[in-house]
Amino acid sequence: MNDTDFDRDLEADLRSELRRSIVPPPTPEYVRARVERIATRAIEEPRRGPISLAAWRGQRSGVMGLAAVVAIVAIIGAGLAWRGVGPGNGAGRPVAPPTLPGTPGPSFPPAPDAASSKSVTMSAWAGGLTGIISVADVGMRITHDGGVTWSALASAPAHPTDPDFDFLDATHGFVSSVDVGATNTSVSVYRTSDGARTWQVAQVTAPPTEAGWQVDASSHFSDASHGIVLVTRFQSDTLQTQECQLFTTDDGGAGWTGKGAGPCLGVFTWPNWSTLQTGFISSPTDPSSVITTVDGGRTWLASELPDASSGWRVVPQLLIVDRPGQLRLLASMTPTTNGQYTPRTPAVYSSSDGGATWTKEYEIGSIADATRNILGLSVYSVSALGPDRWLALQQGSGIENADRLVQTLDAGRTWSVMPSSGFTRADGMGWWDARHGMLQGMQWVCNASGSSCGSDHATVFMTNDGGLTWHQVPF
Q: Are 103 and 400 in contact (CB under 8 A)?
A: no
Whole-number pLDDT of residue 104: 64
**If you average pLDDT over residues 209-237, what whole number do you get?**
90
The span from the CA of 108 to the CA of 106, in Å, is 6
| pTM of this structure | 0.77
Comparing 2-6, 54-58, 166-170, the range with the smallest average pLDDT is 54-58
Cα–Cα distance list, 30 to 186, 215, 313 (Å) = 31, 22, 12
Whole-number pLDDT of residue 154: 75
Is the pLDDT higher at 180 or at 401?
A: 180
At residue 201 the predicted structure's pLDDT band, cuts being 50, 70 and 90, is: very high
E strand map for 181-306: 185-192, 200-205, 213-221, 227-235, 241-249, 257-261, 272-273, 279-282, 290-293, 301-303
Q: Out of 190-194, 444-448, 456-460, give the one with best mean pLDDT.
A: 190-194
**If you average pLDDT over residues 291-315, what whole number do you get?**
89
The span from the CA of 312 to the CA of 333, in Å, is 6
Peptide bond preceding 271 in cis form (omega within 30 of 0): no
Whole-number pLDDT of residue 185: 92
Estimate the crossing angle of helix 8-22 against helix 62-83, to 10 degrees.
50
Tell me what the pLDDT averaged over the chain comes to.
74
**If you average pLDDT over residues 33-45, what whole number do you get?**
37
**If you average pLDDT over residues 66-89, what whole number do you get?**
35
SS3 382: strand
Whole-number pLDDT of residue 139: 84
Q: Are 74 and 113 in contact (CB under 8 A)?
A: no
At residue 348 the predicted structure's pLDDT band, cuts being 50, 70 and 90, is: very high
Res. 355: pLDDT tops 90: yes
SS3 328: strand
Number of residues that this document lists for the chain? 475
- Give the pLDDT confidence of 102-111 residue by residue, as tens digits: 566 778 888 8
Whole-number pLDDT of residue 454: 67
Q: What angle do CA 206, 211, 213 make, to 5 degrees?
A: 60
322 alpha-carbon distance from chain centroid: 23
Nearest to 75 by CA among 42, 26, 44, 121: 42
Whole-number pLDDT of residue 451: 66
- Give the pLDDT confidence of 406-451 residue by residue, as tens digits: 999 999 999 998 876 778 888 888 888 888 888 888 877 666 666 6
Is the pLDDT higher at 249 or at 214?
A: 249
Whole-number pLDDT of residue 299: 96
Res. 61: pLDDT tops 60: no
SS3 content of the chain, % helix, strand, coil (to 5): 15, 35, 50
Q: What angle do CA 47, 456, 157 make, to 5 degrees?
A: 25
Q: Are 118 and 138 in contact (CB under 8 A)?
A: yes
**If you average pLDDT over residues 42-59, what whole number do you get?**
29
Is the pLDDT higher at 87 or at 246?
A: 246
Whole-number pLDDT of residue 212: 85
Is the pLDDT higher at 55 or at 408?
A: 408
Whole-number pLDDT of residue 311: 79
Comparing 246-255, 264-273, 449-458, the range with the smallest average pLDDT is 449-458
Res. 297: pLDDT tops 60: yes
Whole-number pLDDT of residue 318: 94
**If you average pLDDT over residues 26-31, what whole number do you get?**
34
Percent of the chain with pLDDT over 70: 68
Residue type, 384: A
Residue type, 179: D
Nearest to 353 by CA among 391, 397, 303: 303
- Give the pLDDT confidence of 260-294 residue by residue, as tens digits: 999 988 766 788 888 899 999 988 666 678 999 99
Domains of the chain: 6-472 (2.130.10.120)
Whole-number pLDDT of residue 134: 86
Is the pLDDT higher at 158 or at 148?
A: 148
The span from the CA of 202 to the CA of 291, in Å, is 28
Res. 218: pLDDT tops 50: yes
